[in-house]
Structure 1
Amino acid sequence: MKKYKTLSDNELFILVKECDHSAYLELYNRYHDCLFKFIRKYLKSSELSKDICQNVFLKIWEQRAQTDIIEFGAYIFTVAKRMSFDFLKRASVEEKVMERLLQSYHPSLNIVEENQEFLDYMNFIENVLAAMPEQTRIVFKLCRQQYKSYDEAAKILGISTHTIKKHMVRSMKILKDATKGGLGIPLFLLIAFIGNKP
């Protein structure tokens, strides 16, 4: 393994194209941590960032034979950015993806984040939640911040699961509409703008 550490990224990728697992592992070790941090700037979620990061490396391996790279570092960050944006774009139109993105938002987490734009974004979400009808806000917090299932939330509040679903659909619509109306851009573009820093 020692010899791989002396090779350049591009030299390693040439070996990866020849199915050299050790060369692939060396590239993984070189880029994983910084790539994860880069993706987290866009997604603001460690869990989602881990998933996207793994998908980037998986794509590198699966498409190695068809990929010609001039500069590996530039290539892998381009792939990571594209995958992050694709996820955020899907989140703007697909309810399940949006729910997964919102589920990563949890005000009680001890997130070390000095980025003022990020803090402004979180404050924006807090204000939108505060403006929701009380029952919708309670349902949202139970399901998305306390991770209760719809059935569990229904039992706690003494209402039907169908009513819980209606409140969740309403909360999603309120969040999406508030982002477009209050900020003039879709939610995924807002998050991309916040994270769009080198």
Structure 2
Amino acid sequence: MEQLTRTSFQDIYSLYYKKAFYFAKSYVHDNLVAEDIASESLIALWEKTKENPIDYVAPLLLTILKNKSLDYLKHEKVQLAAFETMADWKRQELSFRISALEACIPNDIFSEEINKIIHQTLAQLPEQTRKVFVLSRFRDKSNKEVADELGISLKGVEYHMSKALKLLRVALKDYLPFLYFLLEQ
């Protein structure tokens, strides 16, 4: 994991906004709320970097996102309880989302089980597809950098990434909310 030292908010935003947004959206089901939660979480992360270098950025960000999403969902549940005409299914669905988020343990996203599934899936990929994925997701290279390094077209990079992500989504279906955080860029 990378260490995040004193850095600009723009750098943090560029690296993590999209992942943070999709994670929050998978629980709150509202684009505007997810944008707010993602932005507030990134600001909180940035403020932490001003205090001390952070060795484990992703688990800290996920913890912040989890707490802010939980706060929103619990507030929404209180508001919905005030409307007695609300359908029971809506309450149950909201309770389910709250329970799922409360059960979320950010450090589990980096567990041996998930890493094992990822590495087994990557081992099944054709060599070129695996190289493209590793360069893009594990070495944080842009599609253009990957294309230049491997001597393939941008369309080729997109094809290989699409193929790898499709297989990983199937293999990691039980960890879907975390996939947004791990695999999206």
Q: TM-score, normalized by length of structure 2?
A: 0.46
Q: TM-score, normalized by length of structure 1?
A: 0.43
